[in-house]
Amino acid sequence: MDEGSAKVKTRWSDSLRRYFLAGLLVFLPLAITLWFIGWVIDLLDSVLAVLPDALHPNSYLPFAIPKLGAVVTLLLILFLGVLTRGVATRRFLAAWESIFIQIPVFRGIYTAVQKLVQTFLGQSNAQRQVVMIEYPRVGVFTVGFAMGRAWSHLEEKKNAQLVNVFVPTTPNPTSGFFLLVPINEVTLLNMTMEEALKLITSSGLITPDDKLKINGR
């Protein structure tokens, strides 16, 4: 095999691998969602199966509906969607949240998780930036997310300006490490949150350059 054919084969192999991983990133969330919905349907079917005939919904219908749990699940999802669109419901949720965060044990956890979810979904105004830091040892680097300046009390203890950095794990970016990094050791990267997450979950196989190649630019 000549050098030109080997390069073409390598490019095809790299492209297929990148496309497979990109498709996997789309498929896995969908598969997990469908699995969860299927689990809810089976659960509801199990509950409906043990109900007395007088209480079973099929007793009040002109014909029996197989897999009634699927219908109930669909109606429940639509009902929740309608509720969350209403002004009254949003006020109720806000009131419930204000009560919930008064509980000392749950307040810190709930607030932290809420801010983290809002940050990654782009619904928060919190300062966030994709960064590169030297971790876990000298000469080795990793990509993370700068979540703003550290608590002033921590900076006073070290007499330094510190940045809160979240370093996700691969391939599951929902877990990771919380690091306090001196601001002069943080390198800002010209990447979006989405690009960084794809880079991390694919172990570096999907990069912003791949997007440019796919778009033909």
CA dist 166 and 135 (Å) reads: 12
pLDDT digits (tens, 9 = 90+) for 45-83: 777 777 676 666 666 665 555 666 677 777 777 776 766
* pTM, two decimal places: 0.49
Are 71 and 23 in the same domain? yes
Are 154 and 186 in the same domain? yes
Q: Are strands 176-182 and 141-149 parallel, antiparallel or unpaired?
A: unpaired
Give the chain's domain count: 3
Are 20 and 96 in the same domain? no
Are 143 and 209 in the same domain? yes
Are 157 and 198 in the same domain? yes
Are 148 and 111 in the same domain? no
- pLDDT at position 155 over 80: yes
Average pLDDT over residues 179-192: 94
Are 16 and 72 in the same domain? yes
Domain of 145 in residue numbering reads as 129-214
Q: How confident is the model at residue 146 (pLDDT cuts 50, 70, 90)?
A: very high
Q: What is the CATH number of the domain that holds 176?
A: 2.30.30
Are 24 and 98 in the same domain? no
Residue 104 has a CB neighbour count (10 Å cut-off) of: 7
Are 159 and 192 in the same domain? yes
Are 80 and 91 in the same domain? no
Distances (CA, A) of 132 to 9, 19, 145: 33, 26, 8
Are 116 and 150 in the same domain? no
CA dist 212 and 198 (Å) reads: 14
Distances (CA, A) of 128 to 46, 121, 149, 171, 195: 45, 12, 10, 21, 14
**Domain edge (last residue) among 120, 138, 164:** 120
- CA-closest candidate to residue 120, choices 216, 198, 13, 194: 194
Q: Please, which residues have CB within 8 angstroms of residue 189's CB and are 6 or more apart in sequence?
A: 129, 130, 131, 132, 143, 196
Are 53 and 7 in the same domain? yes
CA dist 27 and 29 (Å) reads: 6
In this predicted model, which residue has the larger pLDDT, 12 or 93?
12
